[in-house]
Structure 1
């Protein structure tokens, strides 16, 4: 299953071969029976929180039809662990995980390491394993944009001194114990909560 976060709402994409999970959906939309290009027009996502389920046979086809009016962007980042503590940043008053846009011809894992180094001022975090992907939408320079984030778990053994990248509006970077993740969950984005779930056993 893939999830796309739109403000406080979520659209879940489910393969037609999978069982529909239990839960309350505001709309279940079968891509074989309905015009996906009109799905987003039916809801005001800024006014309320909704949960939609799109059942597909071809994910890319269904995804592109739903978000046909959006520009696509790839980004990568990750959760860094050092001596049982984890690295988080605060940006625009909200807790986040270091991440950023892929450069031209850059692989996601390369971008994840580079962005973490740039945003937090550390050197040499190493990929442990791939966590998964999330999607979220936002407005970038007045254009509707959907961002695909590639997430990784990384190990780090260097200095824990950090330098937040101020030009990226990062006001602080901190190392915290997993027992303190509740603080992050209480003031972050739904897509980041999803990543915390991916990394709960890391």
Structure 2
């Protein structure tokens, strides 16, 4: 099952038929996806399931209905085990951004972290999960697929937020304090901290 967020409201892509209770169920193959997204933006639908019988074709079917943007991002640790966060648009977030031509997704993730935070010397140590969210830009609804990477750095300078990207603050956060930050973050970011290694802390 995939979880795709629209304005922090979940769309569940599934090959399991579930009995409707507090959500709407649609057939992914035939749904008017733009109409559904509009209703979610208008708060007319809080949660929806999109059903497709073949799990292998679920994401391919959704991607065929929306323009896709690929992005890469980093969950970055310093030598003290602290995690790098940015503060933008009134919420705590992780550095990420869109792929440029001829880049690998790994190169995208490292470049975006460097640009948005000023932190250098980044080394990818693990490939993490992908997250999905739908947004509107220039009158079009788009599906952003972000591939996350765990990174390490020995950087000892002062992080600098990229002002032109609206980043107000960049901070190293101790794992014990991540739980309180998640109260003012995005659902996609919370997913990254639901892994085993963070369950003790959050």
- CA-to-aligned-CA distance 1:106-136 (integer Å, 9 cap, x gap): 1111111111011110111111111111111
Q: Structure 1 CA distance, aligned partners of 2:49 and 2:162?
A: 38
Q: Structure 2 CA distance, aligned partners of 1:199 and 1:168?
A: 32
Give yes or no for contact 2:63–2:143 (8 Å, CA) kept in 1.
Answer: no
Out of 184-193 and 79-88, give the one that drifted further. Answer: 184-193
3-state DSSP of counterpart to 1:179:
helix
1:90-101 equivalences under 5 Å are 90-101=87-98
* 4+ aligned runs moved over 4 Å, structure 1: 19-25, 198-202
How much does 1:97 deviate?
0.4
- Structure 2 counterpart of 1:41, from 35, 40, 53: 35
| CA spacing shift, 1:155–1:184, aligned 2, 3 Å | same
- Structure 2 counterpart of 1:77, from 55, 73, 76: 73
Gap regions ≥5 residues in structure 2: none
| CA spacing shift, 1:115–1:64, aligned 2, 3 Å | closer
- Structure 1 counterpart of 2:162, from 157, 160, 165: 165
How much does 1:201 deviate?
4.2
| CA spacing shift, 1:186–1:24, aligned 2, 3 Å | farther
Q: What is aligned with 1:3? A: 3
**What TM-score, normalized to structure 1?**
0.84
Number of aligned residues: 193
Q: What is aligned with 2:120? A: 123
Q: Structure 2 CA distance, aligned partners of 1:176 and 1:116?
A: 16
How much does 1:29 deviate?
3.4
1:1-202 equivalences under 5 Å are 1-14=1-14, 16=15, 25-31=22-28, 35-36=30-31, 38-39=32-33, 41-42=35-36, 44-48=39-43, 50-56=46-52, 57=54, 58-64=57-63, 68=65, 70-82=66-78, 83-198=80-195, 200-201=197-198
How much does 1:30 deviate?
4.6
3-state DSSP of counterpart to 2:185:
coil
Give yes or no for contact 2:34–2:141 (8 Å, CA) kept in 1.
Answer: no
Q: CA RMSD in A?
A: 2.5
